[in-house]
Structure 1
Amino acid sequence: MGLKCRFHWLSRFWFRRCSLPKRTFLVALTCVVYLCFTMPNVDFPLQNRTGEKLGVRSVLPKEDVLVPTRSNVVYITLKSKRLKPANIRGTIRPKLRSKARRITHEHQESTNGKGPHAQRDPNQPDSGSKRADPPESSIRIYSRTAPPWLSAQDVATMRALAGAKVVRVHAQDTSRPLLILEEELQNRTHLCRGPCGLVHGPVDSVEVFAFHLDRVLLLNRTLPAVSRKLAFLHDGRPSPVVAWEPSRYPDDSSAVRLTWGEYQRSLKQRCWVKNIAPKPASSCSTIHHYEWSKVALFDFLLQIHNRLDPSCCGFRPRQQDVCYKAGHHLECADQDGIQLANIAHTGRDPRHLVLTVNKGYFDRNEDNLDFRLLEGIKELPEQSVSLLRSGRLREKLLQSLFLDQTYWESRGGRPGIDKLIDVIEKRAKVLLTYANAHGIKAVAMRE
């Protein structure tokens, strides 16, 4: 007999000789062994292999993907179905009234995406929607509020200077007539009770730029200035009009008289710092020490020399410069005795300066800057220096200057304004380099 037949005969003889419990155990054991060897070859439906219910999306590894052998195939995709968010009562925006919707739409179109006070992009054409502006005013504010560096009083004064009706002209002097706006003279103690503006010549348009630079740097030492066309003055060309207020405009009683030598000695005394009154024998004036730091920074950026360097001792003057024509540059041999000019405080605040003559120069070459303006200065205002270092000076100047439409257009629009800011930015870099080399510190000046 063959091996297979012998094995079969022996297994039947041995199985019959075993008791019932042993035969039951052997049958169960045989079934288990059979299942262990046959189960891997059986194809189960995909839902059993994955252990998931049908309709649940999942991703199988490549080695586990089965070749479908049945008609009821479950397809698995990587792209999930986008569900609509539930409407939650607390998140539903209320419907806007027609007027509120229109204002919101104007606000969104006017801002340039750089903050809540950002102005309309100067490169885009006007939308023609000016809110709450006087009909003749060239001051344009398209957002809900003006830039934060301009106060409400600044904006009100700008609007009046740019668009208020001229009642009469007071011939204060031949070069700078005074405009009396809207209100007639009603009081002998003051020249005018309503808004007044001092008109400069068209070549002094830097007065407008100086006002905005002063506010952007948070110095707040100049008077508001706008550009305006007046048919009866300067052939209707755009001319700067600077606010004139009797309580703030300097006169002989508020003028600060200092020589260069006295000024340098007062800087060493640090007059009025920490509200400490200077000694009677000191060289201190009524001006707070930090005021000189603000003036020096402001005058250097605009290269205004007629305050701290009226004799042009810190640079090479040109033949057309006033100091050269008058021969003042010859006084530099005795520098300590040179009298400073155009320095005054407000009548009601003798510790702070008011800057009223801001004739700067944008055409001064970088190799001929007046560093004499920074001589003796050991601190600069921290908030101004921080802005110069941040690289946001251009952004803020563009937003601020754009408010004055007449000035903006008279300078050639955005390209012309950018050229002016280019000059200021280069001087700011020179100033910061100079301050670093000479140990000038940035100090919080909240006296």
Structure 2
Amino acid sequence: MPTGAKPTHFIPARERNKVEQRLSKTRVTVFFGKNAENIKQRIGFLPKLARVKNMPLEKSLYKSLVLTNYSIKPKKYRFPPGKGQVLQGKNPNSVLNGNNTHEHLSLFDFSQETFIKSKKTFILECTELKENLSRKINELTEERPPWFTLDDVKKMKFLSESKILAKSRIPAHGQVLRVSLCPSSLAGTCHKERDCLAGLCGLIKRPTDLYEVLAFHLDRVLGLNRSLPVVARKFSSDLLPYKYTNGDARPIIWWDPDIKHLNDTDNDQNSHALGWIQYQQMLKYRCGMSNSIVNCNRPPCLGIKHTEWAKLTLFDFLLQVQDRLDRYCCGFNPDPSEPCVEELLHDKCHNPKELVLVHILVRQSDPSHLVYIDNAGRPHHSEDNLNFRLLQGIDGFPGLAVRVLKSDCFQNLLLKSLQFDHVFWESQGGFEGVKKLVETINRRGKILLKYIEDHSLPLIPSV
């Protein structure tokens, strides 16, 4: 409904009718009801994402074809005012900044539970992403996919736009630079000495670590929400070494000052020192669960909820992240060029007592939940050599994430999410390159689903 329109401007849409309206170049909120009298602002339900195709008619008018398969469900999934907006005409601030003849997917604010498809109920219908989808993605905006929080979007904008004030090396991590950042809104007031404690820093990693971006978006689409915000960016600051400014895209990850680190320079990438045998024993105690017989905050538990490990293993399996639960490459056949082979770590696999976990991190303010770092994984890892050791000891998997993986929506949701990072999108060769990455994750998801079914593992409710 255009701003200021009277109720008579509503055209009731019944069943599967096609609605055509001539609307001025403005933002439109789509509502549904049985007739014009009972249409209310807070009750609009779209079991299918609207496909909107804008075609110019005159200089200031656009013809909008809105095709929906809708229903009225007055007791569930209420959209707040101002949500469920379809952009008519070209919006320079839109995430998708293609030309008006392209088909765009409208964004709707809905619960993550609406990702779930069943035979009888289809709350979210997937719209196929076609090859003619706009390759040009404009700057990040607050018009976001619903799996991102506003805080996610703010941090992504901060990482992609802020000016670099200073740089520093991370001990024992020569390929990583920590940079102090100043957002344009705070220009002239930033103090590099205190920036990192205030959450105004980021880590710039290698171009080969760009898959951290894929991992972050996967984390959000699956509803895990354990990874730190990250974007791909091309740098030009004079403060950086040349190899950082040669035009290659690199990931920059938000530096979380709340992460708990051990006071051990050789083990500072952990909040807890944890060996493989201790980890497997801890899983048997189901720490923090209602049927656990031990205190979650006392040994053998670490204060981390049992369900956290299920989320982590699902995430690591899909990405084939080895350098966390299996840095020794004991669960697959490593190539001789693998660091675990070159550094003779693989030789320790015969002695489980020597195996330790790394990157087991929590926040000081939230010690019961894990934080995922170094998530680039192995998108090109062979499917006949997947690491199933990552799943050892896990007795159930997060229900929401599994249902998203099962749904026909998963690939499209992840593709749509990755469009939000136009630098990453372009670095992978556009739609075709990103699509291959998403298909790889989807195939691994099918393999994981079969593993869950074969082992009769239950789904854990979202908590």
Same fold (TM over 0.5): yes
Partners of 2:136 and 2:341 in 1: CA distance = 48
Tell me, in whole angstroms, the C-alpha distance in 2 between the residues paired with 1:296 and 1:127. 34
* Distance apart, 1:195 and its partner CA: 2.6
TM-score of the two chains, using structure 1 as the length reference: 0.70
Q: Alpha-carbon deviations, 1:159-207, whole Å to 9, x = none?
A: 1111122222233353211121116664866635353210000011111
Show the counterpart of 2:261.
251
Using a 3 Å threshold, how does the CA distance of structure 1 residues 238 and 351 change in structure 2: closer, same or farther?
same
Change in Cα spacing, 1:158 to 1:123, as seen in structure 2 (3 Å) is farther
- Structure 1 residues 334-381: Cα deviation after superposition (integer angstroms, max 9, x where no partner): 124411111111111111110111130012111111000000111100
Q: Secondary structure in 1 aligned to 2:196?
A: coil
Say whether residues 1:92 and 2:92 are aligned partners. no
1:98 shift after superposition: 6.1
Cα distance change on mapping 1:438 and 1:97 into 2, 3 Å: closer
Give 1:270's aligned residue: 286
1:112 aligns with 2:123: no
Number of the residue aligned with 1:181: 181
Is residue 379 of structure 2 the alignment partner of residue 362 of structure 1? yes
CA distance in 2, matches of 1:111, 1:334: 57
1:405 offset after TM fit, Å?
0.7
- Measured in 2, the distance between the counterparts of 1:416 and 1:375 equals 32
TM-score, L = length of structure 2: 0.68
Cα distance in structure 1, aligned partners of 2:26 and 2:447 = 50
1:424 to 436, 441, 448: 441
Contact 1:185 1:193 in 2 (8 A): no
- 8 Å Cα contact 1:169-1:178 kept in structure 2: yes
For 1:153, the equivalent position in structure 2 comes to 151
Return the offset for 1:434: 0.8
Structure showing the higher helix proportion among its residues: 1
Q: Does 1:349 align with 2:366?
A: yes
Cα distance per residue 1:300-337 (max 9 Å; x no partner): 00000111111110000112211111110111111244
Q: Which residue does 1:227 correspond to in 2?
A: 232
Q: Which AA in structure 1 matches 2:275? A: T
Q: Which residue of 2 aligns with 1:212?
A: 217
Q: Contact 1:167/1:181 (CA < 8 Å) preserved in 2?
A: yes
Give the letter for the 1:244 counterpart. Answer: W
Map 1:69-88 → 2, pairs under 5 A: none
When Rg is computed on C-alpha atoms for both structures, the one with the higher figure is 1
Change over 3 Å in CA distance of 1:250–1:111 after alignment to 2: farther
- Structure 1 stretches of 5 or more lacking a match? 1-88, 131-137
Select the residue among 169, 172, 176 that pairs with 1:171.
Answer: 169
Within 5 A, what are the aligned runs for 1:42-61?
A: none
CA offset digits 1:128-179 (Å, max 9, x no partner): 9x5xxxxxxx43x5xx731110000101111111112222223335321112
Q: Which residue of 2 aligns with 1:292?
A: 309
Q: Read off the aligned partner of 2:311 and give its amino acid letter.
A: K
Please give the root-mean-square deviation of Cα atoms over the aligned residues, in Å. Answer: 3.0
Q: Provide the C-alpha distance between the structure 2 equivalents of 1:411 and 1:187, rounded to a whole number of angstroms.
A: 33
Q: Which residue of 1 aligns with 2:132?
A: 123
Structure with greater strand percent: 2
Q: Distance in 2 between matches of 1:274 and 1:196?
A: 39
SS at match of 1:170: strand
What's the secondary structure of 2:307's corresponding residue?
Answer: helix
| Structure 2: gaps of 5 or more residues | 1-5, 12-21, 29-59, 61-86, 95-99, 110-125, 264-269
Is this contact kept in 2: 1:225–1:240, CA < 8 A?
yes
Higher mean alpha-carbon deviation, 405-414 vs 190-199, is at: 190-199
Residues 261 and 337 of structure 1 are in contact (CA less than 8 Å); yes or no, is this contact kept in structure 2? no
* Residues paired across the two proteins, number: 346
SS where residue 105 of structure 1 aligns?
coil
CA distance in 1, matches of 2:262, 2:391: 27
Distance 1:111 1:255, change over 3 A: farther
330-339 or 431-440, which deviates more: 330-339
Query: What is the one-letter code of the residue matched to 1:179?
Result: V
* Equivalent residue for 2:389, pick from 365, 372, 379: 372
- Aligned mates of 2:382, 2:24 — CA distance in 1: 56
**2:322 equivalent among 283, 301, 305:** 305
The CA deviation string for residues 102-121 of structure 1, in whole angstroms up to 9 with x for no partner, is 85334796873576369997
In the alignment, the residues of structure 1 paired with residue 24 and residue 439 of structure 2 have an alpha-carbon distance, to the nearest angstrom, of 45
Identity %: 34
